[in-house]
Amino acid sequence: MRPAWEEPPGRVGLTAKGVVLGVACLAILFPLWIVIVTSLSPAETIRQAGGLVIVPDGITFEAYRELLSGGQVTRATVISVCITVVGTLFSMTVSVLCAYGLSRSGSFGHRPMLMTLLATMFFGAGLIPTYLLVQSLGLIDSYASLILPSAVSVFNILVLRAFFMGTAPELIDSARIDGAGEFRILWQVVMPLSRPVLAVISLFYAVGYWSAWFNASIYLNDQTKMPLQVVLNQIVLEGQRPTGMSQIVNTGQIHTLSVQMAVMVLALVPVSVLSPFVQKHFKKGMLIGAVKG
Amino acid sequence: MAPAPHIAPAAPAGSPTADGTPSNAPPPDDGRRPGPRRGRRKGRKAAAPPGGITWRHRLRRDRALVLMTAPALLLVLVFAYVPLLGNAVAFKEFDPYVGESFFESFELSPWVGFEQFQRMWDDPYFWGAVENTLVIFLIQLVFFFPIPILLALLINSIISPRVRAWAQGVLYLPHFFSWVLVITVFQQIFGGAGIIAQTMRDHGGGGFDLMTDPDFFKFLVTFQMIWKDAGWGIIVFLAALAAVNHELYEAAAMDGANRWRRMWHVTLPALRPVIAMLLVLRVGDALTVGFEQILLQRRAVGTGASEVLDTYVWNVGLENGDFGYAAAVGVVKGIFGLCLVLIANKTAHLLGEQGVYKK
């Protein structure tokens, strides 16, 4: 709603705004459009276009059927989904507990524990010692190496903590009078009241696990354990052929390009579908996160 | 920060504390037990209040909370603090194959003192990486940093809530894509077999490959960064804008300020603390520029143009197995990074801004 004192927008201004915003949105949506359309196009259309397809002409799900009928990409997708689910659950459990444990200022050891966490925002331990640590823990080639080293984000804990501290103290007190312990208060009073921030932080963790490429590329050597992002890199950027494909790709009934684009779509779909649901809570989460300490 | 009034749970009534005084304090007038919390809240060293609770009691009372914090604390100690000690390999000629385990290798590798750091000083590749890192940082500061601010002002000036929500949804989206995906998208558009090169060839033009051009690489990296994160960056500015008191705008309008003047005198001052904070954070992170992003592309453009400090550490350490030297580079990077944050924050304080942490 425009306040009464504000001038109505001029035509030039409106057009300029529209153009800038339109260009910005197009710059994001157009590449995604051609990726999706190409992944759905029959081989003939791709050959005619001489590359990526802009205008769809017939739809076929062959590329997806091929990718998801067993073989390297199917396995990688399953691995990525599992790591994302397990990792997010683990990270959320640890972070929510920690955030609640630190949310009562003045509890035992509150300050030193908080400082221990905060300090890590100012220094990084460095790649080499971290790698050596993971190695000496025997985590090389295990999925735990993709989860444990990056399991807690101090930033996320601070956001959760700030939100928890906003819970009405009367509620917590009355729960305590009714005989609830801390765990029960967290589960039955604080968490139900914090659904928006829990959703946002879960999304952050999930995206982190889903998108992780680097950890897998250094900690895993076993080709059969690679998650989707590594496989995507191998297939599209390094131009390798996915293993376990049937003959029809080689004979040209499915274009290699549509297979590559289909892998990209597999990698981008989950995050694109989830983020709009959580979008309206982003601002709150980030604002709280900006107020530290 | 709202203090959380806290009723001490089932305080051991009448049970003597370590110093023999009864732990029940006389009931205060607000009916709540005066915990040591009160003093702690203001950050003072907690001298136990008269008749107060000892740390033993506080531990007993808060054991559930401490237990809750423990797992995260343990993970941070193991994966952030223990590797700090591991940086000791920077002072060794570390050979991972000399022993059975890391500790054995560590024992058996000879100490070399500051030799690795000396090597770094004489290493042209190291200085090349430093130069690339700083140049990319500067390019990003100039071309990337202002864009979220401008976008946020634009989005904020849009009145229709539906258009706003849609635009925000679209602009946020690429932030959630992995770097592999972003680079693949760029490859498909700007690469040698990408859609632009293809169209140019169809119309009789020459070849065109932005992705392997070393001269353009630093801008390419910035460009990718803008595509991925400029939209996400507007959130914090939008939050700051939403917090502006609207009466200020009204008053300014009454005084005859037009829309540009209002932006200059009301909106921008409101954004100033946020801008300062983000600038401090950015400067503090100057030596970390797009690790994954560059690692994924360094083969295509050659290391001369693309090697930054992080990829150099990765290359020397994990690819060539020269752990001691790589760790030394990492140590130097970490120390300079820390100094940069402290200096930037100090500068922010001197300029009257709050910075990342308070004085």
Measured in angstroms, the CA of B145 and the nearest CA of chain A are apart by: 16
- Are B102 and B173 part of one and the same domain? no
According to DSSP, residue B212 is labeled G
Residues of A in contact with B102 (CB under 8 A): 132, 135-136
Tens digits of residue pLDDT in A208-265:
999 999 999 999 999 899 999 999 998 888 877 776 665 555 566 778 888 889 999 9
Q: Please report the residues numbered 98 through 117 in chain B whose beta carbons come closer than 8 angstroms to any beta carbon of chain A.
A: 101-103
pLDDT of residue B143: 94
- Are B94 and B134 part of one and the same domain? no
pLDDT of residue B286: 87
Residue B89 lies in a domain: yes
Binning pLDDT at 50, 70 and 90, where does residue A18 land? very high
- Are B179 and B80 part of one and the same domain? no
Residue B188 lies in a domain: yes
Q: How many percent of chain A have pLDDT more than 70?
A: 92
Between A32 and B198, where is the model more confident?
A: A32
Number of domains observed in the structure of chain B? 2
User: Minimal CA–CA distance to B66: which of A147, A118, A116?
Assistant: A116
Say whether B249 and A3 touch across the interface (CB within 8 A): yes
User: Minimal CA–CA distance to A59: which of A47, A43, A77?
Assistant: A43
Residue B228 lies in a domain: yes
- Are B70 and B203 part of one and the same domain? no
Binning pLDDT at 50, 70 and 90, where does residue A286 land? low
Per-residue pLDDT tens digits of chain B, which is 359 residues long: 334 444 344 334 344 444 444 444 444 444 444 444 444 444 444 555 555 678 888 888 888 999 999 999 999 999 999 999 888 888 888 887 777 777 788 878 888 888 889 999 999 999 999 999 999 999 999 999 999 999 999 998 888 888 988 999 999 999 999 999 999 999 888 887 788 888 888 787 777 788 888 888 999 999 999 999 999 999 889 888 888 888 898 899 889 888 889 999 999 998 988 888 888 888 888 888 889 999 999 888 888 889 999 999 999 999 888 899 999 999 999 899 889 888 888 888 888 777 666 54
Report field, pTM of the whole predicted structure over 0.90: no
ipTM for the whole complex: 0.89
Q: Where in chain A is the domain with CATH 1.10.3720.10?
A: 61-291
- Are B167 and B84 part of one and the same domain? no
For residues A72 and A243, is the Cβ–Cβ distance under 8 A? yes
Measured in angstroms, the CA of A111 and the nearest CA of chain B are apart by: 9
Distance CA B293, CA B285 (A): 16
Say whether A127 and B313 touch across the interface (CB within 8 A): yes
User: Minimal CA–CA distance to B334: which of A40, A201, A266, A129?
Assistant: A129
**Structural domain for B74, as ranges:** 58-108
Largest CA distance in chain B: 95
pLDDT of A160 strictly over 70: yes
Between A123 and A112, where is the model more confident?
A: A112
pLDDT of A206 strictly over 90: yes
Say whether A5 and B249 touch across the interface (CB within 8 A): yes
- Are B87 and B186 part of one and the same domain? no
Is some CB atom of chain A closer than 8 A to the CB atom of B172? yes
CA angle A206, B287, A150 (to 5 degrees): 25
What's phi and psi for B243, nearest 5 deg? -85, -5
- Are B96 and B245 part of one and the same domain? no
Say whether A129 and B84 touch across the interface (CB within 8 A): yes
Q: Which fold has domain A61-291?
A: MetI-like fold (1.10.3720)
Say whether A237 and B36 touch across the interface (CB within 8 A): no
Residue B4 lies in a domain: no
List, in sequence order, the alpha helices (H) in chain B.
37-41, 55-61, 63-76, 82-86, 102-108, 115-121, 124-143, 146-156, 161-172, 179-190, 195-202, 217-242, 246-254, 259-262, 268-284, 291-301, 303-306, 309-314, 323-350
Using alpha carbons, list the distances in angstroms from residue A250 to A26, A61, B233.
35, 17, 44
List, in sequence order, the alpha helices (H) in A125-213.
127-136, 144-147, 154-165, 169-177, 182-185, 191-193, 195-211
DSSP B272-303: HHHHHHHHHHHHHTTT---HHHHHHHHHHH-H
Say whether A98 and B341 touch across the interface (CB within 8 A): no
For residues B181 and B232, is the Cβ–Cβ distance under 8 A? no
For residues B231 and B171, is the Cβ–Cβ distance under 8 A? yes
Say whether B170 and A28 touch across the interface (CB within 8 A): yes
Residue B252 lies in a domain: yes
Residues of B in contact with A88 (CB under 8 A): none
- Are B87 and B221 part of one and the same domain? no
Cβ-in-10-Å burial (0-12, 13-18, 19+) of B207 comes to: exposed
Distance CA B162, CA B160 (A): 5
- Are B165 and B287 part of one and the same domain? yes
Between B59 and A24, where is the model more confident?
A: A24
Binning pLDDT at 50, 70 and 90, where does residue A291 land? very low
Instruction: Compare all CA atoms of chain A with the CA of B274 and give the residue at the minimum distance.
Output: A290
Average of pLDDT values for A170-193?
A: 92
Residues of B in contact with A229 (CB under 8 A): 178, 180-181
Question: Which span out of A94-98, A195-199, B9-13 was modeled with the highest average pLDDT?
Answer: A94-98
pLDDT of residue A236: 84
- Are B232 and B347 part of one and the same domain? yes
Average of pLDDT values for A58-85?
A: 89
Distance CA A71, CA A69 (A): 7
Is some CB atom of chain A closer than 8 A to the CB atom of B12? no
Q: Which residues pair with B22 in a beta bridge?
A: B16
- Are B259 and B129 part of one and the same domain? yes
Task: Give chain A's mean pLDDT.
Answer: 87
Say whether B239 and A132 touch across the interface (CB within 8 A): no
Q: What is the CATH number of the domain that holds B220?
A: 1.10.3720.10
- Are B223 and B99 part of one and the same domain? no
Average of pLDDT values for A77-103?
A: 96
Nearest to A152 among B72, B292, B330 (CB): B72
